[in-house]
């Protein structure tokens, strides 16, 4: 029972009742881990409370059992997520936020296996050979995803001309509530974007395009914006430099105030 507890609550009760169980299987149960130095058992904590405990992952000898979320922003330790992964006993995280990280795909896939909310900012996900994992593969590896945000300064390797066509084939995005993608490059066809929006009318979608897109591409996007505006119930927001201000305001109002 100590070696293979059925739930985190069961294990917590065991170690509180007798220190023997912790000695046989030293595991720290926590709701969230914030940044790279704070761990907390309170799932309602925002990472800046007295209930948090400071840790040094390099000195932690116990395994860690996370039950709610992993929120990492480690500018100086780009492989922190991988270091932490080696320390994890189990993870039941519904939220996974990674910022400024480089992580191997197999590790990411396991960390995201239970997640419903995913936020990736300047995160590089690669295979063991160093090749970059595409966006559709990332999305396909999150079976329970409901809210997804991806922000990167350079999406050229992650987002390709076939990305959205491949995303449309994914079966795990039926329950997608929100989708936010920035720095979209011109290799993505507007036709595939249009099909994506059409297939996710009930999803809150924010698409922001890279400043490098051409005037010809902007004209195609403007036509797509017209289609979005015609669908009065859609919370779809398309953002690019030089777009029509009035159309921008219409989409902005719907995106942020639709439920009010």
Residue-wise pLDDT tens digits, 124-147: 999 999 999 999 999 999 999 999
Q: What pLDDT score does 207 carry?
A: 97
CA dist., res. 152 & res. 158, Å (int): 9
Structural domain boundaries in the chain: 134-260
Q: Smallest Cα–Cα separation from 111: which of 130, 132, 139, 92?
A: 92
Give the tokens for residue 63.
């395994």
Is residue 4 predicted with pLDDT exceeding 80? no
- pLDDT over 80 at 45, yes or no: no
pLDDT digits (tens, 9 = 90+) for 204-239: 999 999 999 999 999 999 999 999 999 988 899 999
Take residue 214 and report the two structure tokens written for it: 């051409």
Residue indicated by tokens 């009760």: 13
9's tokens: 């609550």
Residue 32 has pLDDT above 60, yes or no: yes
| Cβ atoms 97, 122 nearer than 8 A | no
CB 194 within 8 A of CB 224: yes
To which residue do tokens 């398309």 refer? Answer: 238
- Separation between Cα atoms, residue 33 and residue 84, nearest integer Å: 10
Band (3; pLDDT cuts 50, 70, 90): low
What is the predicted pLDDT for the residue at 140?
96
Label residue 11 by pLDDT band (50, 70, 90). low
- Give 179 or 73, the one with higher predicted confidence: 179
Please determine, for residue 2, whether its predicted confidence score (pLDDT) is greater than 60.
Answer: no
Buried b / exposed e across 191-212, counting CB within 10 Å, b at 16+?
ebbbebbeebeebbbbbebbee
């Amino acid at each position: 029972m100590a070696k293979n507890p059925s739930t985190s609550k069961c294990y917590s009760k065991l170690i509180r009742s007798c220190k023997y169980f912790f000695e046989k299987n030293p595991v720290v149960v926590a709701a969230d881990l914030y940044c790279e130095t704070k761990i907390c058992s309170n799932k309602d904590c925002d990472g800046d409370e007295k209930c948090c405990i400071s840790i040094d992952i390099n000195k932690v000898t116990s395994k860690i059992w996370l039950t709610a979320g992993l929120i990492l922003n480690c500018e100086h330790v780009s492989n922190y997520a991988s270091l932490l992964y080696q320390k994890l006993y189990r993870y039941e995280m519904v939220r996974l936020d990674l910022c400024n990280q480089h992580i191997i795909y197999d590790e990411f896939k396991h960390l995201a296996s239970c997640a419903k909310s995913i936020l990736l900012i300047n995160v590089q996900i690669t295979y063991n050979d160093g090749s970059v994992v595409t966006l559709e593969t990332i999305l396909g590896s999150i079976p329970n995803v409901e809210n997804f945000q991806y922000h990167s300064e350079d999406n050229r390797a992650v987002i390709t001309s076939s990305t959205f066509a491949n995303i449309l084939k994914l079966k795990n995005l039926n329950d997608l509530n929100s989708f936010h993608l920035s720095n979209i490059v011109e290799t993505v066809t507007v036709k595939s974007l249009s099909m994506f929006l059409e297939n996710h009318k009930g999803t809150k979608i924010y698409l922001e395009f890279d400043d490098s897109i051409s005037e010809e591409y902007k004209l195609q996007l403007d036509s797509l914006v017209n289609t979005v505006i015609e669908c009065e119930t859609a919370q779809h927001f398309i953002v690019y430099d030089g777009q029509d201000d009035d159309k921008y305001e219409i989409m902005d109002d719907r995106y942020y105030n639709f439920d009010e």
